[in-house]
Structure 1
Amino acid sequence: MDTDFSQSTGPGNLDIMVVMGQVHAVECQFWARETSTDWWDCIVLQVWDDSQWLRNFRLYKGTSIELCDLLSPALKHKNTKMRAALTVHKRVVIALWKLATPDSYRSVGNQFGVGKSTVGAAVIQVANAVTELLLSRVVTLGNVQVIVDGFAAMGFPNCGGAIDGTYIPILAPDHQGSKYTNQKGYFSMVLQALVDHKGRFTNISVGWPGKVHDARIFRNSGLFQQLQQGTFFPDQKITDADVEMPIVILGDPAYPLLPWLMKPYTSSLDSSQELFNYRLSKCRMVVECAFGRLKACWHSLLTRLDLSETNIPIVITACCALHNICEN
């Protein structure tokens, strides 16, 4: 006998059909598709050694656990009636894998046995946690004398850092594509960074559209205000040829020449100016190398970040903090 379910008039009819065997009751269960986590549970956690962890997650296993402990206050979730929460460790390494590789959200989800939306959520959650809890601890000036001594050994006296900007490719924001198109012709957001003698970030500014000039970004940054007021570095001057020289930073020709910002000589040069440019360039290349290592480590910064305009600066900032953790 055919049964027309559209004719049911209330829950009473459904109860009767369950008893008659025409409809089968379904037990409540976690709201999740059947996925395999064997690779994570049995291979990564049990078999991989430190070299494999470093190659794939950019951190040693022990360091990743320490990172999880630091981020746990912001990432610890509870199980619900609908689904079991991912562990903090698994959420962190999912984010690290996605940031370190050009893999798609679907591909990363298949690797770890989660949905692609879970991967996207993990990236933003971890990036937010790193920015809120670790940024001020790892992206910091540190020991100024060690930095000055480091640059002096490279040939430039009383130098506290090298500054530059780099383009981070992004998808074109809605109705704003023109202002994000940089001079190289692609959509981007600018990362401005000051680095020490070892290429660790000591100050960053993220979020300006790619069309904006480096000098404008610099003049509107908090770093510029601190340097102008003399509060970023200690008041530590040296005297050379009867000229007092404060701690300076080094920039390329795009930056303005200031008492505390040195840039190369241009036009025809004599031998002393050529030597000055050589030493400045040698020390300034530290920031270019830092950008290279940042993008080589976190490959997502080499591809177009498919995130909202609000989340892109958070992810870039988190990658800078993770860069310093890796460098240390």
Structure 2
Amino acid sequence: MDETFLLMLSNLLHLHNSLDPTTSLLSPSSSSPPSASSPSPSSPSSLLSSSSSAPLLFFTLASLLSFLATSKKGTNDSSPLSKKRKPNSSPSPPPSAHFSVAAFRALSADTMRDAHWRSLYGVSYAVFDSVVSNLRPYIAASNLSLPPDYAVALVLSRLCHGYSAKTVASRSSLDPYLVSKITNMVTRLLATKLYPEVIKIPSSRRRLMETTQGFEELTSLPNICGAIDGSPIKVRKVDRNLMNSYKCKYGYDAVLLQVVADHKKMFWDVCVKAPGGSDDASHFRDSLLYNRLFSGDIVWDKVINVRSNLVRPYIVGDWCYPLLSFLMTPFSPDGAGTPAQNLFDGMLMKGRSVVVEAIGLLKARWKILQDMNVGLNHVPQTIVACCVLHNLCQLTREPEPEIYKDPDENGAPARMLEGEKQYYYFGESLRQALADDLHQRLSSR
């Protein structure tokens, strides 16, 4: 028995013994002195038989029960497992006040809001406001129960930090289903309504000249209009029957993102059509860009003469892509070519570095791309939405975060297909002419 209770009981018995039963207020009707044969008031039997002790006994028992109940409660509270077992216990509520509409409105009035906005939503307030202005009519037409700007803010916070719908919902006191619905709506609008305005092939002469000149300053190679590369985007919840096709070369389930970037690390083409198990060459051949270039649908009005070869604007990629008249790749992935060819390869890969950096910036700004936590059906539009936001950041010269680095490329060189022979042989002639011209120009300096 607990020492504290024993001390309490001892004090009560001492009090009982100190009271005379003949004069005690506990037994006013008892007037005769006790006989010699009467049990001692201090004995346990007297506590049970003496009517004068009944109230004190009741008080003692009540105290005992109360003490035991309190002691048990205290023991349970101190148990490491008690917090898990208590039916009424719950985790501390999330700081939803910081994510409420009222807090959002207060932040928008802050004079230092750009710094806060970037930390919360990945973009400055000016970029955010531009996105909201473009999407507001479509969001308003959906009869959403939330203000359009607040809905966009919730989605951007999710894309920027990689939050799950459940996390955003708990912080904003919303239902996770509603957060998923808002995410799907906003990313779809970004991927469809804003994409044509923000991600464009450099078809105008002014922009084409600016792009080719930018690449030439970087590589000394003329008429480069873009750099192409692919990157796996990690996904979850892949159907077991499809897991083999989605397993990328780095060992996780993914879809492939293909982008073409200009010298400013802005994307002018985005494609998400292949599971992670596909290779870059197959993904490129299945893209709309390949079909348009292959069929001559895209015609760039800028042709130069290099050693009697007419060279139209072309894109550059690594050895995982096929060599074609409109796509230049290195002679050798291991530097086994001639001095002119190795020089060309080094400059080509320098031009290709802009797309690698662009993808690194994309994944650093929108961390959801590092581990997608949306349904597989909504993955492509979410990726494209992040590419749209990336271009807006580059266009407005938002601060560039530390680049996220993918593993080094280790794919096999792409093979030529039967239907590509004409473009391949023409590409071989153009590549050798460019290499010889580059070597001559740089050697004569």
Distance 2:364 2:274 in 1: 22
Distance 2:393 2:319 in 1: 30
When residues 317 and 188 of structure 1 are mapped into structure 2, their CA distance, relative to the original with a 3 A threshold, is same
3-state DSSP of counterpart to 1:254: coil
Shift of 1:43: 4.5
Letter of the aligned partner of 2:114 in structure 1? D
Shift of 1:94: 0.3
Shift of 1:44: 2.5
Distance 1:207 1:75 in 2: 27
Letter of the aligned partner of 2:238 in structure 1? P
Higher helix share: 2
Distance 1:185 1:129 in 2: 32
Aligned to 1:115: 175
Higher relative contact order (CA 8 A, sep 6+): 1
Shift of 1:262: 0.6
RMSD: 1.9
Contact 2:127 2:392 in 1 (8 A): no
Aligned to 2:156: 96
Aligned to 2:267: 201
Aligned to 2:233: 168
When residues 64 and 287 of structure 1 are mapped into structure 2, their CA distance, relative to the original with a 3 A threshold, is same
Letter of the aligned partner of 1:320 in structure 2? C
Aligned to 1:226: 292
Shift of 1:122: 1.5
Farther-moved stretch of structure 1 (108-117 vs 313-322): 108-117
Aligned to 2:36: none
The alignment status of 1:52 with 2:116, answered yes or no, reads yes
3-state DSSP of counterpart to 2:123: coil
Shift of 1:64: 1.3
Aligned to 1:270: 338
- Structure 1, unmatched stretches of 5+, are 1-34
Shift of 1:265: 1.2
Distance 1:106 1:42 in 2: 23
Farther-moved stretch of structure 1 (266-275 vs 37-46): 37-46
3-state DSSP of counterpart to 2:201: coil
Letter of the aligned partner of 1:270 in structure 2? T
Shift of 1:129: 1.1
The alignment status of 1:258 with 2:324, answered yes or no, reads yes
Contact 1:191 1:205 in 2 (8 A): yes
3-state DSSP of counterpart to 1:126: helix
Distance 1:228 1:105 in 2: 41
3-state DSSP of counterpart to 2:350: helix
Of 127, 138, 147, which aligns to 1:87?
Answer: 147
Distance 1:39 1:154 in 2: 48
Aligned to 1:149: 213
Farther-moved stretch of structure 1 (110-119 vs 51-60): 110-119
When residues 232 and 78 of structure 1 are mapped into structure 2, their CA distance, relative to the original with a 3 A threshold, is closer
Distance 1:321 1:233 in 2: 24
- Structure 2, unmatched stretches of 5+, are 1-95, 396-445
Contact 1:77 1:86 in 2 (8 A): no
Letter of the aligned partner of 1:105 in structure 2? A
The alignment status of 1:139 with 2:166, answered yes or no, reads no
Contact 2:261 2:355 in 1 (8 A): yes
Of structures 1 and 2, the larger Rg is shown by 2
When residues 78 and 274 of structure 1 are mapped into structure 2, their CA distance, relative to the original with a 3 A threshold, is closer
Identity rate, percent: 28
Count of equivalent residues: 289
Contact 2:226 2:314 in 1 (8 A): yes
The alignment status of 1:246 with 2:312, answered yes or no, reads yes
Distance 1:42 1:96 in 2: 16
Shift of 1:282: 0.5
The alignment status of 1:130 with 2:182, answered yes or no, reads no
